[in-house]
Copies of this chain bind each other. A is one copy, B any other.
Amino acid sequence: MTLVDDARKGLLTTFEKVALIENIEPRKLCKLVASGRAVIPLNVKNSDRERKLCAIGEGLKTKVNANIGTSPMVFDPEGELRKAKAAEQAGAHTVMDLSIGKELRSVRRKIIKGVSIPVGTVPVYEPFVNKQVADVGEDDFLKSLESHIKDGVDFVTIHAGVTRETVTHLKKSNRILGIVSRGGSLTARWIEETGLENPYYKEFDTVLDMCREYDVTISLGDGLRPGCIHDASDGAELSEQIVLGELVRRAREVGVQVMVEGPGHVPIDRIACSVRSMKRIVHNAPIYLLGPLPTDIAPGYDHVVAAIGGAVAGMHGADFICVCTASEHLALPTEEEVREAVILTRIASHIADIVKLEDERKWDDEMAHARAELNWSRQINLAIDPVKTAQIHARSKGEDVCSMCGELCAIKQWLRRDES
């Protein structure tokens, strides 16, 4: 029995729990999951653990994922665990372990054990970390997936849309950056070197069987996503989305939860169209975006660039946004960069949710009232990051006004003029 099976039968147990957090009717959430418009990632292995669940999709708050993981150049599993915990603490709803250093399995287990939010991984990395491209066998793809699932991963990115056909479209494109997805590039190269079809595509029924057994949610990876605004929304990207849309329906048929990943890099005026077109092609499955980044000229500030793109994408229907740190394109991020990026992505998500959900602006109105009252402790408590807010306001040294305007404070001059 998967969650989708429950949903289709109207068994509300899990939905009641999650609906409380989501501030939605359990029956409505149940319907969303039954129809595939929302997912609740949860490996059955974790169903009796204390896990902070979240629902991702239509009519729900925009969710935030943080990526962590070792790299071939920096192997520090404890450091990555600290990043994962910092992300959870900062309010990330899920975390993905994208480790490609060594001892992947032990790192993965450490992360799954170390956090209480759902954990995702990208099984395709593992064979390529251990073997040269040409030496990776078809069965290595599935073996890796099986191991991730059995370790208790709640959702897996499967780059099943990188196929012989879509790679052909890619080769005909005028892209500057080709493939920038790690899983996408490895898969495309493997297809090219072996001449074989992507096993995750060819054996998608087996992938579904495996995921169904542990009720693992599939996140269909966008291996051909653009790597710069020049490459955005081209034929190669769309050819992959069409395949992903077909796979969404196959997953739904067998009751496996599925969402779809998207770009990447998109000029700001194309984000609305990009998100809406994607929603249509993938049959309203939850959309999981990385960014999108509406400019390429700001390395060191891509956390801000992604917040800009993410807020716009969220407003137009993106359901799940992956954190992008200040180190993106430059280096493995630090713990503090991960933390800050989670906050920025939560801000972007809230900005979008103000538009999407009726009650979201109550938080803003409460802050406005606290400001109207010049009630600083209330402002600090209401802030998305009370610690940083308090630190900055501390420079104002305990006055009832802040050090920007002092007694010429506009609120004191007008709204509270009767008190002065």
Q: Which residues of A are in contact with B by a Cβ distance under 8 Å? A: 71-74, 100, 125, 128-129, 133, 176-182, 184-186, 188-189, 227-231, 267-269, 294-301, 304-305, 307-308, 311-312, 315, 326-332, 343-344, 347-348, 350-352, 354-355, 361, 363-365, 367-369, 371-372, 379, 382-385, 388-389, 391-393, 395-397, 399, 401-411, 413-415, 417
Contacts and interface: CB of A to CB of B under 8 A. Distances in A.
Given A178-B372, A327-B392, A367 B228 contact: yes
B384 A301 contact: yes
A343 B305 CA distance: 11
A354 B267 contact: yes
A72 B299 contact: no
Given A188-B414, A230-B365, A364-B295, A402 B329 contact: yes
B410 A351 contact: no
As for how many copies of this chain the complex holds, the number is: 2
Given A176-B372, A268-B312, A406-B72, A229 B364 contact: yes
Given A327-B404, A393-B330, A383 B73 contact: no
Nearest to A183: B410
- Secondary structure dominating the interface of A: helix
Contact of A177 (B315, B372, B408): B372
19 contacts: A71-B403, A100-B406, A177-B368, A177-B415, A179-B413, A182-B413, A184-B414, A227-B371, A228-B365, A230-B368, A267-B354, A296-B364, A296-B368, A298-B350, A299-B379, A301-B385, A304-B307, A327-B392, A330-B402
Contacts of A344: 301, 304
B392 A330 contact: yes
